Structure 1
């Protein structure tokens, strides 16, 4: 979204808030390396957020920072990418996250699930709802000459400390799957895992281009999310790899197309769904061509920029 604003000629600043330090230089190298297309200045938000026309919070924590540190007449927005109270049990953090939607920031909801839950759970109507996209410049079918052979094995994105990503259920499902298909390699990226009772190939954190190569080598990907849809689902489809997802009304709200496989989130059912993809020769032939996905994030970038520009034509204090 920042790059989309920059392409329209806007000067952007990325404000970072660190409860332990004002020094943002330790984060800047990572940001520059991982998002090379973004040219924004990087500053600390700890003293105050000033010298700008508009500010966009990107999570419940930053929404509270914006509300408490804005100096002067600034248009304030909140790009809500998930219904974040669901990240916690009912209690203090759940409540503080939910309160972030009532701070008077103009809410931009990413996807229908977020828009629906904001209205249903918090009684808040977003200023606008923008669609998901898929980075098809990175995630795509590669030429067969670049691949070591026919597709085989499955891939799983592991987030051990993020319960909404279903790590424990996925681990049990993959153990079941290995019993059904002991010759199929199981690739794990994201967090490195250990103490599993089955063999897995740990890849750790992969750059996007290398992740796309892994998607192009494998037959299926296990994608777990119990709130908003994971970006990995469409990225797998763009690379010709079939995502198997835990069935969820919330996740279904923002994944178009008929090629994803939805399964009840029990270890046995998820394992059976993975097995069905691996055994389906007709589906394997179809993966030589990309499945239908949304083409990039251009529409979303334009909608976000349009909203901010329209609001700033007559800048008002929040």
Structure 2
């Protein structure tokens, strides 16, 4: 927000910034009707890429070596704490360790002048990966990945590759109401890319609804970071609840969680909420809480080992955060939906609550009041999550890529 304000002041001046800020505040307070605005310019690239004709098959100069593939990733711009980017980089890092060459390109503007330094510092350290802040000169590759609906449009017309894949981590049309953006995102599933999805539910959607070739990998966790440390468990009388709070991300159901905590507090149950994932100060909420902001992975593991319950909502595809909590033997409450049902087993390794405040409060109260049930869910979750690792998931992605390349020889 601050960076955006500085850019506006530099470009248009202080008076323009103040004028637009007042308009924005009045609109938010419903004291002024929002102006109709033409925002099409931010989507000009869609029409531009769709109008481009795809030429015939591009003949790559280098011979195919399945053990030393060149993999280009087109990603959207990124910020610290971006979970989707972290998953991309985890898979790419293992592919690098398997002997493959990665190139990472940022599409549609990059806020980081030294992209490699930013990624190595805030995500994962690469050894033999190239980084580019634009897609002006995408080099030849064996594999080309789109990683979001926005990046699928340039990937559609980039032709100097053997095979195009779509790294699908969520059903992105659901990020929007029924709108142009919804359709822009949905249309990309019809581009003919081979989809590699996070979890089986997404793969099924790609196949059944969009007739897209699709395979999946499992979300996982870092075993070196997330594991039980019983000596750090909360010994205080007031139970602690870790909640992944992302008010700016509607699919995280922030208001549902707030109403659920309000209901739990109304029942006279003692608890304190530890919010994380949101880089803001403590919100004024009518129950005991503390905001930790955006935490590093080691800090998250420490938190999960100190609290009594984890609450995570993902109203679209399932999240990897519950697995990281489970790895620390923390019992988890999530939303009961077709996406979570496809992954977890309700009342065995997790508690899935219907998406209303009463049901969520009931689930939290049940776990807070019944120690045996809480211990059972925690133990079962820990045992279940042990089957996953990022190395296994990356190996599965590698196998999918190799099988597809062999099939088109």
Using structure 2 for the length normalisation, give the TM-score: 0.70
Instruction: Go from structure 1 to structure 2 and tell me whether the alpha carbon gap of 1:55 and 1:24 turns closer, same or farther (over 3 Å shift).
Output: farther
CA distance in 2, matches of 1:73, 1:275: 54
- State yes or no: 1:47 paired with 2:133: no
Aligned to 2:35: none
Superposition map of 1:116-131 within 5 A: 116-126=204-214, 128-131=215-218
CA distance in 2, matches of 1:271, 1:29: 43
Query: Larger C-alpha radius of gyration, 1 or 2?
Result: 2
CA distance in 1, matches of 2:140, 2:113: 20
Q: After superposition, what is the alpha-carbon deviation per residue over 1:106-154, rounded to whole angstroms, capped at 9, x for unaligned?
A: 211221110122234323231x22233233332110141x456369310
CA distance in 1, matches of 2:309, 2:180: 39
- State yes or no: 1:149 paired with 2:235: yes
Q: Which runs of 5+ in 1 are unaligned?
A: none
Aligned to 1:10: 100
CA distance in 2, matches of 1:256, 1:136: 22
Q: After superposition, what is the alpha-carbon deviation per residue over 1:44-64, rounded to whole angstroms, capped at 9, x for unaligned?
A: 333132132211111111111
Aligned to 1:267: 357
Q: 8 Å contact 2:193–2:212 — kept in the other structure? A: no
Aligned to 2:321: 232
Q: After superposition, what is the alpha-carbon deviation per residue over 1:23-66, rounded to whole angstroms, capped at 9, x for unaligned?
A: 75254333111233433211133313213221111111111122
Instruction: Go from structure 1 to structure 2 and tell me whether the alpha carbon gap of 1:11 and 1:194 turns closer, same or farther (over 3 Å shift).
Output: same
Superposition map of 1:242-257 within 5 A: 242-256=331-345
Moved more, 2-11 or 148-157: 148-157
Superposition map of 1:1-318 within 5 A: 1-19=91-109, 24-39=112-127, 40-68=129-157, 70-126=158-214, 128-144=215-231, 146-147=232-233, 149=235, 152-180=239-267, 183-191=270-278, 192=280, 194-256=283-345, 258-286=348-376, 287=378, 290-293=382-385, 294-312=387-405
How many residues matched? 311
Instruction: Go from structure 1 to structure 2 and tell me whether the alpha carbon gap of 1:208 and 1:299 turns closer, same or farther (over 3 Å shift).
Output: same
Aligned to 2:76: none
CA distance in 2, matches of 1:307, 1:45: 27
Q: 1:288 Cα shift?
A: 7.3
RCO higher in structure (CA 8 A, sep ≥6): 1
CA distance in 2, matches of 1:131, 1:44: 29
Moved more, 220-229 or 100-109: 100-109
Instruction: Go from structure 1 to structure 2 and tell me whether the alpha carbon gap of 1:273 and 1:58 turns closer, same or farther (over 3 Å shift).
Output: same
CA RMSD of aligned residues (A): 2.4
SS at match of 2:165: strand
Instruction: Go from structure 1 to structure 2 and tell me whether the alpha carbon gap of 1:203 and 1:80 turns closer, same or farther (over 3 Å shift).
Output: same
CA distance in 1, matches of 2:137, 2:193: 17
CA distance in 2, matches of 1:261, 1:55: 39
Q: 1:88 Cα shift?
A: 1.2
SS at match of 2:295: coil
Moved more, 261-270 or 42-51: 42-51
Aligned to 2:69: none
Instruction: Go from structure 1 to structure 2 and tell me whether the alpha carbon gap of 1:306 and 1:291 turns closer, same or farther (over 3 Å shift).
Output: closer
Instruction: Go from structure 1 to structure 2 and tell me whether the alpha carbon gap of 1:120 and 1:161 turns closer, same or farther (over 3 Å shift).
Output: farther
